[in-house]
Structure 1
């Protein structure tokens, strides 16, 4: 550098100040975009995923309505607002964070869908593929999203695997948190085995907020444990002779997850 060290330091600290100012200037916009993305994703629960496979063997629609809305919204936000900023790296640093959060919320909500029929699985799998396209405008490259991207890629095949295969997936724990996978297995259980949020009589949005407030895997697993224990009590109280086939797999995963935390 041709500047004296003192001048260089002054410029660097001034740039940091400008960067911070830029950050606080766009923060309200980023927050509202993030909130809107979440609001769109959570509407997936208003759609019906319980359907069986059409006779053609192919899903009727390439993806769900909420996904089309999400894609349209993100594309519009980028062209209407963020494309006008000249600091491209600054924009992507901020929008990539929204993309990571969007993927996390998408997988979270996808894992909560009940009931999930064979046709619903096909459509949800299409949504997983479309999700990559949806967050594309927010990123330099979608693969730059790191763990979020790997989680999106790893979760999709689980939709079609047997519960035993899901439980032995190498992605568990490392890429996909155990709590998310166990949560997903509730969809394969009879309605008597209530998901944690159903047992608590929470809406999907309320449960999503709880998960945000309890990022620790330990807390999340405790909530799941409570739901599984309530199911055992329910079966015993009606003097049932056996548990749902998926139940022992969920218990086994819960034990594995708990010991991984030790």
Structure 2
């Protein structure tokens, strides 16, 4: 296996190292499937022998996982870097005369869609083990949605025109992560959060407070972050109050997954 830097690059076409890793994973996959076939088609296999072989097969599966991990990490880092650039865009503009956003989606969303589509066709398409690939990329899709909602809830200032644009981005986000999964609706809680948060953009704060999605689908900490963005400028968002960049705040949230810790920080 190639473990050098070129094994995890996501800028250009497949490198020699990445090609080799794909070949190794595909060989391991064929071995795994063939051995599995032998075990399942044998009726007289001693239980102890079957157990030993099954344990060995798990090791083969784990090796496939560690072979693609550097690439997955790289793709994940790039997705996060693209999503955080939403804060470089202006969501404070006025509503266009048609009442609809001028563009179908923001620049960062276009870039995200292009990047994910390219990564799937340039790198992951070469793997023969589709289920194995999707098991890994679906986790990445869930993470991308989580980061998207987190950053969307921190946008300040957010005008009526900005809300329309952000709502369009929410719809486009489903298209962005679609190549990473069998079906977007299979993403479970992440998908429900994406669908539930979008209507909150246009609701009054009182309506949001009584939304049944609160706590159930969308964590309270995310909704609180969003409510701060509606306050006058002198009431700062938690990350501004702590004098942190959004990237640092996002890292803190990753390091503190417990809702209790997050609410304590916001308080």
The correspondence for 1:55, drawn from 94, 97, 100, is 97
Q: Distance in 2 between matches of 1:97 and 1:179?
A: 22
Partner residue in 2 for 1:159: 201
Give unmatched runs, 5+ long, in structure 2: 1-39
Instruction: Give 1:92-171 correspondences, 5 Å limit.
Output: 92-171=134-213
**1:129-172, Cα deviation, whole Å (9 max, x unpaired):** 00011000110111111000000000000000111111111000
Superposed CA deviations along residues 211-254 of structure 1, whole A, max 9, x for unmatched, are 111111112112211xxxxxxxxxxxxxxxxxxxxxxxxxxxxx
Q: In the aligned structure 1, how far is the partner of 2:116 from the partner of 2:249? A: 25
Measure how far apart 1:5 and its partner are: 2.6
Instruction: Spell out the pairing of 1:1-262 with structure 2 (5 A cutoff).
Output: 1=40, 2=42, 3-225=45-267
| Secondary structure, aligned partner of 2:229 | helix
Secondary structure of the 2:149 match is: helix
Distance 1:90 1:173 in 2: 32
TM-score (ref. length: structure 2): 0.83
Secondary structure of 2:156's aligned partner: coil
CA distance in 2, matches of 1:202, 1:50: 22
Residue of structure 1 equivalent to 2:15: none
Render the CA deviation track for 1:76-97: whole Å, top value 9, x for unaligned: 1111111111111100110011
Give the whole-Å Cα distance in 1 for the aligned partners of 2:127 and 2:52.
25
Q: How many residues align?
A: 225
How many Å separate the matches in 2 of 1:193 and 1:101? 30
After superposition, the C-alpha distances for 1:73-132 in whole angstroms (9 at most, x for unaligned) are 000111111111111110011001110100000000000000001111001000000001
Aligned-residue CA RMSD in angstroms? 0.9
Q: What is the Cα deviation at residue 187 of structure 1?
A: 1.3
Deviations 1:8-27 (A, max 9, x none): 22331221011000000111
* Alpha-carbon distance in 2 for matches of 1:15, 1:121: 50
* CA–CA separation in structure 2 for the residues paired with 1:60 and 1:148: 28
Judge which range, 55-64 or 189-198, deviates more.
55-64
User: What is the SS of the residue equivalent to 1:160?
Assistant: coil
* Secondary structure of 1:188 counterpart: coil
Structure 1: where are the runs of 5+ without partners?
Answer: 226-262
Write out the 4+ residue segments of structure 1 that deviate beyond 6 Å after TM superposition.
none
CA distance in 1, matches of 2:49, 2:93: 67
Q: TM-score, normalized by length of structure 1?
A: 0.84
